[in-house]
């Protein structure tokens, strides 16, 4: 949950009018999120799919993480796009000035992915009678 807390803290800096601090906090949160996604989400999902020969699992065991992954990937890519633009690293044809709309969409996708991610945890480690071992 640390990336969620950092992301929420960045929103507080924006509300306080500290836009430079907001930008740095959100850049840190997006970078941390990228590392966490690759390490703690992609690898376990890959291992679960690879171990498909295990006893059959309930359908939600695969569908909930797939939905989480689609929403999360959309939010992650969109968030990284906003971070690149905010730091002046985006190519000129893709630059935008209306930050508020883009940031709200990215943040909304991120929070939705977080909620569905809690559903993944519940599905894999509470509902599933034979949870995966990591």
70: Cα separation from own chain's centroid? 10
What pLDDT tens digit does each residue of the chain (134 aa) get?
566 677 667 767 766 777 788 888 888 888 888 888 888 888 887 777 666 666 677 888 888 888 999 999 999 999 898 888 888 888 888 888 887 888 889 889 989 999 999 999 998 889 887 777 76
* Tokens describing residue 80: 């990284």
Residue 120 and residue 126: Cα distance in Å, rounded? 10
Q: Which residue has the tokens 């929420």?
A: 8
Model confidence over 92-112: pLDDT tens digits? 888 888 878 888 898 899 899
Kindly state the DSSP code that residue 92 receives in the 8-state scheme. Answer: G
* Tokens describing residue 54: 């295990």
* Tokens describing residue 36: 């966490």
Question: Which residues, 6+ apart, have CB-to-CB distance to 12 below 8 Å?
Answer: none
Sign of the dihedral defined by the CA atoms of residues 34, 35, 40, 45, in that order: positive
pTM of the model as a whole: 0.79
| pLDDT, position 52 | 60
């Amino acid at each position: 949950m640390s990336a969620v807390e950092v992301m929420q803290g960045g929103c507080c800096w924006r509300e306080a009018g500290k836009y430079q601090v907001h930008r740095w906090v959100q850049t840190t949160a997006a970078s941390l999120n990228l590392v966490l996604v690759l390490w703690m989400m992609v690898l376990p999902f890959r291992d679960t799919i690879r171990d498909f020969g295990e006893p059959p699992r309930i359908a939600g065991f695969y569908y909930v993480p797939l939905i989480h992954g689609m929403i999360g990937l959309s939010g992650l890519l969109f968030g990284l796009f906003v971070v690149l633009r905010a730091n002046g690293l985006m190519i000129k044809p893709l630059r935008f000035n209306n930050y508020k709309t883009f940031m709200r969409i990215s943040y909304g996708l991120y929070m939705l992915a977080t909620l569905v991610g809690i559903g993944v945890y519940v599905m894999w480690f509470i509902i599933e009678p034979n949870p995966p071992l990591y």
